[in-house]
Amino acid sequence: MTNTTQPQTTLAGLKLKSELVDANHVLAHQGVLDAFGHVSVRQPEHADHFLISRSMAPELVNVDDIIVMDLACNVTDGSQARPYLESFIHAEIYRARPDVQAVVHSHARSVIPFGAVNVPLRPVCHMAGFLSKGAPVFDIRHRFGCTDMLVRNASQGKALAATLGRASVALMRGHGFVSTGDSIAQAVFRAIYTEANAAIQASACMLSKQVAYLDVEEGLAADETNSQQIDRAWSLWKRHAAERLR
Ligand code: MN
């Protein structure tokens, strides 16, 4: 009997696992993930399953650490590995957004201020044009009161996905952010440039109260152009991460 949710049984499945491992290493090397945070990809042949590492630091992830989960966050590949506490972030975004194929969750420190103050994260740099679709802030306190700030169950995941709406990125007050994409590389690209834009925007705001942001049309046009260029960045980031890990 074959378990059809085991992606490692096919060449395409192995390739996807390997790409997810690369994403873990790239995000760690780029400073978007440290010991915490995670990245996942929807299983192409089973849209209600996704691949993600077991609970561990992203830089240390290897192909053997990748597990398969369903949208209820059950591990479905027979692995006994412990999943991330916040797997519900991924599951509920995949449930709410059929267009999303990959999700990154990060605690990058440059982004945290924008979840804490009344200044929206907006594109100041064309590489972050996707922020024109908004970067809404999820405040877990609004519906769930005093928590440990983690998205630990399906209803908290659903509330985060509802805040995300149709945007590419949502911030999480006192915690971090999520980025989404139609591929692993696009979700990684958006996570990296969300972090970069936050740092640039904070610098611009220190220089002046009058900051010239990209307008919505500029941002959307830039996002469309950048989406055709992702492989260029992805190849470079993979090389740099591999050099560091060698
Ligand atoms: Mn977290």
Please report, for the chain, how many H helices and E strands are present, in that order: 8, 7
Question: Which residue type is seen at 99?
Answer: D
**Residue 2: its pLDDT value, please?**
43
> How many beta carbons lie within 10 A of that of residue 144, not counting itself?
15
For the chain, the 3-state helix, strand and coil shares in percent, each to the nearest 5, are 50, 15, 35
* Separation of CA 217 and ligand 1 centre (Å): 32
Burial 190-220 (b: 16+ CB within 10 A, else e): bbbbbbbbbebbbeeeeeeeeeebbeeeebb
Q: What is the pTM of this model?
A: 0.95
Question: Which residue type is seen at 153?
Answer: N
Per-residue pLDDT of the chain (246 residues; tens, 9 = 90+): 344 455 557 898 999 999 999 999 999 999 999 999 999 999 999 999 999 999 999 999 999 999 999 999 999 999 999 999 999 999 999 999 999 999 999 999 999 999 999 999 999 999 999 999 999 999 999 999 999 999 999 999 999 999 999 999 999 999 999 999 999 999 999 999 999 999 999 999 999 999 999 999 999 999 999 999 999 999 999 999 999 887
- HSE (CB half, 13 Å, CA atoms) of 117? 10
* Separation of CA 36 and ligand 1 centre (Å): 7
* Separation of CA 89 and ligand 1 centre (Å): 9
Marked catalytic residue, from 86, 217, 218, 243: 86
* Separation of CA 242 and ligand 1 centre (Å): 25
**Residue 96: its pLDDT value, please?**
98
Element holding 230 (H helix, E strand): helix 230-245
* Separation of CA 200 and ligand 1 centre (Å): 23
Q: What size, in residues, is the chain?
A: 246
The SS3 assignment for 102 reads strand
Q: What is the DSSP letter of 130?
A: G
* Separation of CA 47 and ligand 1 centre (Å): 24
For strands 38-43 and 46-53, give the pairing: antiparallel
Active site residue 224: no
